[in-house]
Structures are given as C-alpha cells and as structure tokens.
C-alpha cells in the first residue's frame, strides 16, 4: 500500500516498508537486548540501529510488558530526557518516535527534543487532543481481542482524531496486548482487513510471547520466529516493522520486496 507521513517537514514514503528500531530507557523491558541504562548504551544502540537500516527509533521509558508497574510520570520524563539528549547528539536527523501513553510526556518530548512521532499503547481523548495540538504523526494501538473489535474501535477513534484535525495516523493492532495466543494469530491472519481504513499499519511482534510460548523457547531465542511473522505481516501489507533486531528486519523487507 502506498502511504506516506509528514515528518520534519517532509514526506516519509511508506510505499516500501520501513524499520522502526526499539530503544528502551528502562531496566525492566521484557527483552534485555533493548535495554539502555547509560548514555554510552544509548549512543551505541542508536548508532547500531541507524547503521543497520532503521528509518525510525522508538524510545520508551516506561515498560508496558505484562505485569509491569508503570513508573511515575516524573521518572518517565527524566529517563526520556537522558535518552533523547544522547540520541539528538548522536543522530540529530534521526526520526524519533516516543513510546508513551501520557499526554504531558508526549508534549515534553516534542517541544523540548523535537520528537517526530508519538507511539501510544493506551489511546484516549486526552492524548488525542495533545497530539492534534502538537501536529506530529500518531501511532494508535488497539488492545481489542478480535479483528472485528479492532476495526470498530479504530474507526471510531480515527474519526475522533480527524475531527480534531489530526493528519497522520498509523494503526497498530496491538500484538501481545489484550489477546490470547490464539487471538494474536487470528489478528495476524486477518491483518489485510485493516486496509479498509486506508491508513498505514505498524506490526510489532518482535520476540513477543506469541512466538516463544508457542515454540516453548524464550525471548532470547525468538529471532527466527520474529522474522517468519514479520515476513507474513509484510505480505499482508504492513508498512512499518517495530523490532529489536534491525538488520534482520531490514533484510526481511529487502527479500520480501524482491519477491
């Protein structure tokens, strides 16, 4: 699908799928390889992801893994400020997405550090008003368990955002959120139905439990399964792959596009 979003005053073409690399400024995200606790860690991972082909860096400072307790808003902001300062110093032109469900955290990231995209796992009207005011692309995630419910909820939320003047909206069906293992695979099977809303789709299955629980392994052993599901998602029209392993995803895109 030929989509594009407005980033940094220019169009980011999504006709060819793009990779969003994950950088977690947290001590407790479920995959240890994405955790960056020091400025050196953040700088090294930023350089690595850009060199391996990431078009976007998604920075999170409050873990949303199952069973986790959110840190305070002040702590989330402090972690983000440290990470974003390093990222902007290392890669000033990088497209930076901030993973947060808090409107004031989104405002800080955009106004103080020029964050380009807000990635929200708990969408609501307060965040809708904030991103519409900030004029940045918005990734909206669904915790609904079935594709029918995802479509109905997204249709209502997209209309609310449009009414507020929001231009660029990206849909994330929310693999691993509010879904059983079987429901995750049902949603992936039916992913093409999301194209009815005529918006780009982000898929984030990287090393998640829908892979390692099915295969009876661990997140550390889930790269091969991630690549298989990413390939399926691309074949169903995904525009963005949100991943821990940028090089593998970039190669997956290159090979899928060639076929």
Measured CA to CA, the distance from residue 211 to residue 201 in angstroms comes to 20
Residue 107, SS3?
helix
Q: Residue length, the chain?
A: 259
Beta bridge partners of 169: 138
In SS3 terms, the chain reads as CCCEEEECCEEEECCCCEEEEEEECCCCCCCHHHECCCHHHHHHHHHHHHHHCCCEEEEECCCCCCCCCCCCHHHHHHHHHHHHHHHHHHCCCCEEEEECCCHHHHHHHHHHHCCCEEEECCCCHHHHHHHHHHCCCEEEECCCCCHHHHHHHHHHHHHHHHHCCCCCEEEECCCCCCCCHHHHHHHHHCHHHHHHHCCCEEECCCCCHHHHCCCCCCHHHCHHHHHHHHHHHHHCCCCEEEECCHHHHHHHHHHHHHC
The residues annotated with a catalytic role in the active site are 208, 242
């Amino acid at each position: 699908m030929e989509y594009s979003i407005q980033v940094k005053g220019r169009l980011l073409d999504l006709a060819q799928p793009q990779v969003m690399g994950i950088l977690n400024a947290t001590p407790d995200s479920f995959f240890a390889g994405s955790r960056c606790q020091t400025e050196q860690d953040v700088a090294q991972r930023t350089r690595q992801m850009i060199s391996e082909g990431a078009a976007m860096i998604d920075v999170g400072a409050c873990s949303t893994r199952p069973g986790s307790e959110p840190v305070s808003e002040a702590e989330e902001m402090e972690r983000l400020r440290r990470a974003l300062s390093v990222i902007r110093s290392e890669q000033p032109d990088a497209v930076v997405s901030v993973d947060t469900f808090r409107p004031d955290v989104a405002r800080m990231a955009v106004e103080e550090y020029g964050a380009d995209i807000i990635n929200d796992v708990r969408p609501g009207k307060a965040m809708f008003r904030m991103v519409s005011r900030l004029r940045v692309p918005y990734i909206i995630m669904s915790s609904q368990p079935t594709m029918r419910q995802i479509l109905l909820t997204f249709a209502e939320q997209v209309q609310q955002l449009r009414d507020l003047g929001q231009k660029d909206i990206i849909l994330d069906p929310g693999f691993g959120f509010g879904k059983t293992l079987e429901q995750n695979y049902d949603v992936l099977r039916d992913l093409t139905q999301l194209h009815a809303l005529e918006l780009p789709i982000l898929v984030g299955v990287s090393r998640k439990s829908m892979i390692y629980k099915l295969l009876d392994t661990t997140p550390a052993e889930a790269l091969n399964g991630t690549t298989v599901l990413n390939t399926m998602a691309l074949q169903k029209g995904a525009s963005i792959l949100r991943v821990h392993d940028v090089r593998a995803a970039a190669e997956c895109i290159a090979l899928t596009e060639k076929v």
